[in-house]
Structure 1
Amino acid sequence: MLSQNMIDQLNHQINLEIYSSHLYLQMSSWCVHKALDGCALFLNQHADEEMMHMRRLLNYLHETGSLAVLGPVDAPPTQFHSVTELFEKIYAHEQVITQKINHLVHIANTEPDYSTLQFLQWYVAEQHQEEFLFKSVLDKIKLIGTDGQGMFFIDEEVKKLATTKAAKVASEAMPTPGE
């Protein structure tokens, strides 16, 4: 059985994941509006991924006999000055999410709640990957630059990331022979 504090904190995280999904979906829309279709695809995929993160938390609460509470979600920003600013905001947002996950791990370790601590390890690893991914996108933007045809090449590079991720997800979903 989870403590009320842990239930409240997990519910808060559920709502942060919903906000993250809305944020990335809004950013995807901005990218479409700016003809950055590769970035739009990439961010749309990440919006779906954030909802999967939310559902994973929701299911955990259900498995523990706890009530998941969905609260209001703030509207994300709709305008960005540049694709660089957009990805800087994403990277900063992912760093905040990492801090929130680390806080959950701290609570689970302090209470102690070893089941939740074990459950949260997936999120710890996921956040490490997310920060690395978005930092690498920022590194590519700085390397390529946004002048001239730079935006085209950035969009193509980000599209490759989306295509690679989609192929990986599809291959993981396919059963291996004999299954």
Structure 2
Amino acid sequence: MLKPEIANLLNKQVNAEFYASNIYLQLSAWCEDHGLEGSAQFFRGHSLEERTHMDKIFDYMAECSAPVTLEAIPAPPNSFDNLMDVINAAYQHELKVTAMIHDIANAAFDIKDYTTFNFIEWFIAEQHEEEVLFGKILSKAEMLGFTGQPGQQLHIMDNYLRFIKE
């Protein structure tokens, strides 16, 4: 049985992962609307991945007999000036999710809930991978001199995102 403070944090994370899935789906839609099929594919894949994360936490809570409460999910941002704004929005969101995961790990460790701590370690590693991934994307953009404007660099970035393997 999970302690209430851990169950509360995990429940918030279930909802945060659902929101993250919606963010990435919206980013994918923005890319589709702007003819960036490679970027749309990349963000669509991330949307599905976030939904998988939600399911993983949901299942853990169910195994621990902790009730899950799904909350209203706010609409994600949908207006961006260019692909660089989209990429930066995704990166900033990943940093926020990392902080939330660390909060769960810290709380679990503090109250000696080592089962939850062990469970959340997978997410810590996953968030590290996400931050590394977006760091590489931002480095590629910098290397190309890509600021989001139309042109050859936009085409290169769109194709680069299409072929990123996670």
TM-score, with normalisation over the residues of structure 2? Answer: 0.95
CA drift of 1:145 comes to: 3.0
Where does residue 115 of structure 2 map in the other structure? 115
Alignment partner, residue 106 of structure 2? 106
| 1:121 partner letter | E
- Secondary structure in 2 aligned to 1:67? coil
- Is 1:156 the counterpart of 2:156? The answer is no
Match of 1:45 in 2: 45
| CA distance in 2 between partners of 1:4 and 1:139 (Å) | 41
Report the CA distance between 1:13 and its aligned residue: 0.3
Q: Any idea what SS the aligned residue of 1:134 has?
A: helix
Aligned to 2:126: 126
**Displacement after TM superposition at 1:49 (Å):** 0.1
How far off its partner does 1:139 sit?
Answer: 1.3
Distance in structure 1 (CA, Å) of the matches to 2:2 and 2:112: 10
What residue is the counterpart of 1:92 in the other structure?
92
- Give the CA RMSD over aligned residues: 1.0
What secondary structure does 2:112 align onto? coil
Match of 2:67, SS state, is coil
**Displacement over 4 Å in runs of 4+:** none
Query: Matches of residues 3-152 of structure 1 in structure 2 within 5 Å?
Result: 3-146=3-146, 148-152=151-155
SS in 1 for 2:163: helix
TM-score (normalised: structure 1) = 0.88
Q: Which deviations, in whole Å up to 9, do the C-alpha atoms of 1:7-26 show, x marking residues without a partner?
A: 11100000000000000000
Aligned residues: 163
Is 1:145–1:151's contact at 8 Å kept on the other side of the alignment? Answer: no
Counting aligned pairs with the same residue, the percent is 34
- Amino acid paired to 1:145: G
Measured in 2, the distance between the counterparts of 1:120 and 1:60 equals 10
